[in-house]
Structure 1
Amino acid sequence: MELIVLWDIDHTLIENAGVSKEIYAAAFTALSGREPRGPARTEGRTDRLIMRDMFSRNGVTEPGWTAVEKALTAAGEARLSELSRRGTALPGVREILREVSVRTAWVSSVLTGNIAANARVKVSAFGLDSLLDLQVGAYGADALQRPDLVAVARVRAQRLRGARHDVPVVLVGDTPRDVEAAIATGSESIAVASGVHSAEELAAAGAQTVLPDLMNTPRVLGILETLAEPRKRPRTSSERPDTR
């Protein structure tokens, strides 16, 4: 039973305690010479879109992406210790990542709007990097829109880990954009109400399963094992998402 599990990072695996928005602000200031008028708008967007929006809202011409990515990387690296001090891995995350990592037929990585360098900063700050196959992840520099990241991760899993072209993909995240990316790409989804969006909002977005958090390791693992089954029974329109 093969499976590709792609985890969102912020508010799904970790709580960044505001450090993430400080990274965007610092990158903006480094490139524009002034502080932004307001915080970055994130909520599941890719770094490309987040920074583009910041420049637009502040009336600043958007620099080339190479310069933006360099500024984001520098800002993230500078805040590793601050993130370690203020943030935390969310409850249950370490346990479920450990369980998934030992399934030899599974690939467990990330699908995140963060650029690869800052994704690594965020998971390594709490020692989660060794539990994830970051080489096959999909990151904010890989595509503009989140759904397009799914194909990036799938191709990397095929090329680097020998995954079949039709292996099921599961997106685990805390925003409607995570759910929408799963629906748009025919992937499975597990939504986690550990961010700003309620279980009701995530179910309304179309999530197949909605959990309050990732604390119940046997339950999360059982859901993933079911999704890995080669002939999973399709859900009918009359069935409601699992929000327990």
Structure 2
Amino acid sequence: MPLIVLWDIDHTLIDNAGVSKEIYASAFKALAGHPPAHPARTDGRTDRLIISDMFADHHLPVPAWDLAEAALEQAGTCHEQELKARGRVLPGVRSVLKEAYEDPAIVSSVLTGNIAANALVKLRPFGLDRYLDLAVGAYGADSDRRADLVVMARERIGRAYPWADRASTIVVGDTPRDVEAALTAGAQVIAVASGVHSAELLHAAGATVVLNDLRELRGHLHAI
């Protein structure tokens, strides 16, 4: 059976070791002229919403998105080597991404709150980008709402892979927002308790399949 598999990045594929928060802080400073008083609230949000929330939390006008996206991209570029030094690929990720990449019945891409440029910044240092068709993924610049990203990814995949209109869609992520997005968009969800959210919380959010890490997924994508 054909499948579309959409992977979250932070805390699902990689541990960014706090570098992600540093990227947001750097982008905020470039836009606001001073560092943030407190870190960005991420937790499965899209970059559009994260930046908007940061400025609202500081009682500042939200900058135009084109300026915010440029600041995020610049901050991401400046932090790529730091991410490579401090971050790591999570257990089971490389093998299950390779498995999906080599399966002709699977389109494997990303559904991430990061803008596209910073998704690449987070995948490239670990060589994970080679296993994903990033051109058909959905990103934090696409919408404030994560559920919208599922629809957008399906549309892009449908144009690039005509056979994928018969495919089931699986969203793999580590937050309740990933679960909510998948269920709202009518997709299946595989939740992974590899971030800050417990298996119990992910079940409570509506996930019926919750794994401890992606080693448990190898060989089971079609079965799930």
* Interval of TM-score (by shorter of Structure 1 and Structure 2): over 0.9
Deviations 1:122-159, CA, capped at 9 Å, x for gaps: 00011100011111100000111000000110011011
Query: Any residues of structure 2 matched to 1:160-171 within 5 Å, and which?
Result: 160-171=160-171
CA apart distance, 1:85: 0.1
In structure 2, C-alpha distance between the alignment counterparts of 1:119 and 1:164, rounded to whole Å: 23
Structure 1, unmatched stretches of 5+, are: 228-244
CA apart distance, 1:163: 3.6
In structure 1, C-alpha distance between the alignment counterparts of 2:159 and 2:24, rounded to whole Å: 32
Identity %: 59
Are 1:35 and 2:32 matched, yes or no?
no
TM-score normalised by structure 1 residue count: 0.90
Query: Any residues of structure 2 matched to 1:53-64 within 5 Å, and which?
Result: 53-64=53-64
In structure 2, C-alpha distance between the alignment counterparts of 1:148 and 1:129, rounded to whole Å: 23
Deviations 1:177-214, CA, capped at 9 Å, x for gaps: 00011110110000000000000000010102000001
The equivalent residue for 1:239 is none
In structure 2, C-alpha distance between the alignment counterparts of 1:221 and 1:204, rounded to whole Å: 26
Query: Any residues of structure 2 matched to 1:134-145 within 5 Å, and which?
Result: 134-145=134-145
The equivalent residue for 2:219 is 221
In structure 2, C-alpha distance between the alignment counterparts of 1:133 and 1:158, rounded to whole Å: 13
CA apart distance, 1:14: 0.2
Contact 1:23 1:75 in 2 (8 A): yes
The count of residues paired between Structure 1 and Structure 2 equals: 224
CA apart distance, 1:59: 1.5
Contact 1:188 1:208 in 2 (8 A): no
Contact 1:96 1:220 in 2 (8 A): yes
The equivalent residue for 2:149 is 149
Structure 2, unmatched stretches of 5+, are: none
Residue 22 of structure 1 aligns with an amino acid whose one-letter code is E
CA apart distance, 1:162: 1.9
Residue 175 of structure 1 aligns with an amino acid whose one-letter code is T
Contact 2:158 2:165 in 1 (8 A): yes
**CA RMSD for the aligned pairs?**
0.9
In structure 2, C-alpha distance between the alignment counterparts of 1:27 and 1:181, rounded to whole Å: 26
The equivalent residue for 2:81 is 81
In structure 2, C-alpha distance between the alignment counterparts of 1:99 and 1:175, rounded to whole Å: 24
The equivalent residue for 1:197 is 197
**Helix, strand or coil at the partner of 1:171:** strand
Are 1:50 and 2:50 matched, yes or no?
yes
Residue 222 of structure 2 aligns with an amino acid whose one-letter code is E
In structure 2, C-alpha distance between the alignment counterparts of 1:63 and 1:56, rounded to whole Å: 10
Query: Any runs of at least 4 consecutive aligned residues in structure 1 with deviations exceeding 3 A, and if so which?
Result: none
Higher mean alpha-carbon deviation, 207-216 vs 83-92, is at 207-216
CA apart distance, 1:73: 0.1
In structure 2, C-alpha distance between the alignment counterparts of 1:185 and 1:208, rounded to whole Å: 16
CA apart distance, 1:164: 3.4
Contact 1:114 1:139 in 2 (8 A): yes
The equivalent residue for 1:110 is 110
In structure 2, C-alpha distance between the alignment counterparts of 1:173 and 1:15, rounded to whole Å: 13
Contact 1:100 1:221 in 2 (8 A): no
The equivalent residue for 1:234 is none
Contact 2:2 2:105 in 1 (8 A): yes
Residue 2 of structure 2 aligns with an amino acid whose one-letter code is E
In structure 1, C-alpha distance between the alignment counterparts of 2:54 and 2:107, rounded to whole Å: 34
The equivalent residue for 1:176 is 176
CA apart distance, 1:56: 0.5
Residue 35 of structure 1 aligns with an amino acid whose one-letter code is P
The equivalent residue for 2:9 is 9
